[in-house]
């Protein structure tokens, strides 16, 4: 996708209106929570609460979720196809491209493994009364159930690996088989990258169009979030009471711990060993990019600042840093991948859904791939989380819990996304002296 396209979407999704929307979502969250806790305290098991949940708050929440789910496949497929096909613009940097890809996969895997290990260890969502959780699962209604239904039966071992390749991608979409759909999109993107003709250029633009329309529609649906969040919080608080707040606090703490480990554990090691750079100097020099990422909660909006920091502060060769940062703003999102991992596992614990090893590996792979498919805009990971939840049989209503604290966590994970890109650019630069010696011109990325 071109930089302008991102900027336009960014301006719409991440503009001042988004800030106001965040306040409305926060208000919906607090009001729903208070109303739910009041109902839990003073009218537990009252018939009118049940009627309200069955006929008002639950259906409203379902409508919001279904609108969101409806848009996820077009959004994800177009983002992946275009993300891969865009690499064609920088074909001259093939070596750097391959190294960046390898780095992204390895470091994202480490990030996701850390987040999954920590969530399994601390279990921030565990301890909810299993009977209550089951009731909530049942109450999810037809809409949620149809989304939850996993394609076919759960596959294991060799079948699970073979199953990633869809024999029919339309069926894969119909079955909500997200991994298979992602595989198809990646494969199609590679095809588009290899075949360049006037017609494939038109096709690529069409995918960009699908992405832009999907983003626009998600922007419209998100306007309903304050009402939906009120409903979700009311339903959950009326059922779980104060327990809910404690679980939520534990969730926020675990996300921050996971992000902190990557930021102050993994990144310094990468910098010191692979780029021979003092991590403290690195963090000092990249402060401006961190601040920008924190305040905008958008990797795309921070891209110009990150590019400047890379060139003027870190003194990285522009040819490498431009390439790595432009691709990385969409494809290398460590913070997002970690957040998605913690969130899915937390909600599974909360709703008492036992995730087998195969399920957890499924979550890991999707989180790593989702790093490529998640747009670098505020709240970009929410639709992806909704989809993963459906894939592992966790009630998508859980999204309501997350939305309430999402803005703050979004600001934090975006810092990790951007700093992760700068670490990547620093490491790749250190290993690209051979490429930098080449005289071949490298096209500047379109911003
Ligand atoms: N806000 C993140 C970013 O722009 C994406 C997300 O995780 O929601 O990097």
Q: Are 79 and 215 in contact (CB under 8 A)?
A: no
* HSE (side-chain half, CA atoms, 13 Å) at 6: 27
Distance 68 CA to ligand 1 centre (A): 17
* Binding-site residues, ligand 1, Cβ < 6 A: 297-299, 333, 336, 374, 376-381, 410, 413-414, 417
Distance 418 CA to ligand 1 centre (A): 10
Q: Encode pLDDT of 289-332 as tens digits.
A: 998 888 778 887 788 788 889 988 999 988 778 778 877 776 78
More reliable by pLDDT, 161 or 7: 161
In total, the chain counts a number of residues equal to 447
More reliable by pLDDT, 250 or 185: 250
Q: Encode pLDDT of 379-429 as tens digits.
A: 888 877 877 887 778 877 778 777 778 878 998 999 999 999 999 999 999
Evaluate whether residue 445 is within a structural domain.
no
pLDDT at 92 over 80: no
Of 14-18, 160-164, 208-212, the range with the highest mean pLDDT is: 208-212
Question: What is the residue range of 261's domain?
Answer: 3-440
Evaluate whether residue 208 is within a structural domain.
yes
pLDDT of residue 446: 35
Evaluate whether residue 309 is within a structural domain.
yes
**Average pLDDT for 1-7:** 42
CA distance 271 to 419: 12
Give me the helix-helix angle, 357-373 and 178-194, nearest 10°.
40
- CATH number of the domain that 198 lies in? 1.10.3860
pLDDT at 166 over 60: yes
Evaluate whether residue 350 is within a structural domain.
yes
Looking from the CA of residue 298, the nearest atom of ligand 1 is 4
Looking from the CA of residue 302, the nearest atom of ligand 1 is 4
More reliable by pLDDT, 103 or 89: 103
Q: Which of 298, 328, 387, 421 to mutate to test the pocket of ligand 1 (most atoms within 8 A of CB)?
A: 298
Distance 339 CA to ligand 1 centre (A): 10
Q: How many domains does the chain have?
A: 1
CA distance 326 to 319: 11
Q: Encode pLDDT of 258-272 as tens digits.
A: 999 999 999 999 999
Distance 416 CA to ligand 1 centre (A): 10
Evaluate whether residue 447 is within a structural domain.
no
CA 60 to chain centre: 24
pLDDT at 437 over 80: no
Split at pLDDT 50, 70, 90, the class of 5 is very low
Looking from the CA of residue 418, the nearest atom of ligand 1 is 9
What is the longest distance spanned by two Cα atoms in the chain? Answer: 76
Tell me if the pTM is above 0.85. no
Q: Are 353 and 127 in contact (CB under 8 A)?
A: no
Evaluate whether residue 446 is within a structural domain.
no
Give me the helix-helix angle, 382-392 and 178-194, nearest 10°.
130
pLDDT at 144 over 80: no
Q: Residue 198's CB: how many other CB atoms inside 10 A? A: 6
Evaluate whether residue 430 is within a structural domain.
yes
Distance 3 CA to ligand 1 centre (A): 16
């Amino acid at each position: 996708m071109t930089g302008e396209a991102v900027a336009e979407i960014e301006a719409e999704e991440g503009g001042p209106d988004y800030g106001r929307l965040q306040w409305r979502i926060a208000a919906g969250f607090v009001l729903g929570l208070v109303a739910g806790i009041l109902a839990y305290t003073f009218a537990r098991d009252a018939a009118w609460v049940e009627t309200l949940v069955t006929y008002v708050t639950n259906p409203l929440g379902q409508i919001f979720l279904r609108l969101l789910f409806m848009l996820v496949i077009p959004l994800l497929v177009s983002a992946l196809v275009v993300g891969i096909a865009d690499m064609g613009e920088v074909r001259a940097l093939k070596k750097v491209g391959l190294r960046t890809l390898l780095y992204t996969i390895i470091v994202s895997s480490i990030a996701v493994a850390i987040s999954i290990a920590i969530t399994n260890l601390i279990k921030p969502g565990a301890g909810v009364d299993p009977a209550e959780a089951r009731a909530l699962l049942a109450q999810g209604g037809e809409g949620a159930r149809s989304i939850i239904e996993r394609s076919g039966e759960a596959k294991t071992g060799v079948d699970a690996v073979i199953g990633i390749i869809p024999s029919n991608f339309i069926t894969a979409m119909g079955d909500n088989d997200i991994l298979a759909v992602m595989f198809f999109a990646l494969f199609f993107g590679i095809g588009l990258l290899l075949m360049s003709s006037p017609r494939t250029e038109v096709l690529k633009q069409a995918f960009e169009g699908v992405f832009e329309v999907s983003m626009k529609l998600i922007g419209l649906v998100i306007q309903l979030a304050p009402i939906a969040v009120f409903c979700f919080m009311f339903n959950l608080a009326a059922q779980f009471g104060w327990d809910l707040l404690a679980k939520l606090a534990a969730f926020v703490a675990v996300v921050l711990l996971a992000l902190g480990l990557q930021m102050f554990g993994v990144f310094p090691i990468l910098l010191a060993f692979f780029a021979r750079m003092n991590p403290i100097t690195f963090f000092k020099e990249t402060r401006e990019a961190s601040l920008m990422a924190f305040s905008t909660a958008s990797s795309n909006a921070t891209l110009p600042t990150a590019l400047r920091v890379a060139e003027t502060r870190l003194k990285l060769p522009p040819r490498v840093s431009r390439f790595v940062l432009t691709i990385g703003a969409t494809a290398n999102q460590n913070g997002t991948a970690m957040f998605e991992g913690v969130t899915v596992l937390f909600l599974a614990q909360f709703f008492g859904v036992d995730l087998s090893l195969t399920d957890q590996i499924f979550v890991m792979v999707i989180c790593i791939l989702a790093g490529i498919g998640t747009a670098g805009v505020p709240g970009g990971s929410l639709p992806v989380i909704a989809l993963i939840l459906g894939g592992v049989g966790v009630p998508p209503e859980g999204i309501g819990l997350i939305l309430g604290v999402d803005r703050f966590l979004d600001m934090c994970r975006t810092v990790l996304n951007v700093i992760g890109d700068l670490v990547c650019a620093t490491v790749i630069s250190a290993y690209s002296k051979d490429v930098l010696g080449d005289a071949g011109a490298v096209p500047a990325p379109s911003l």
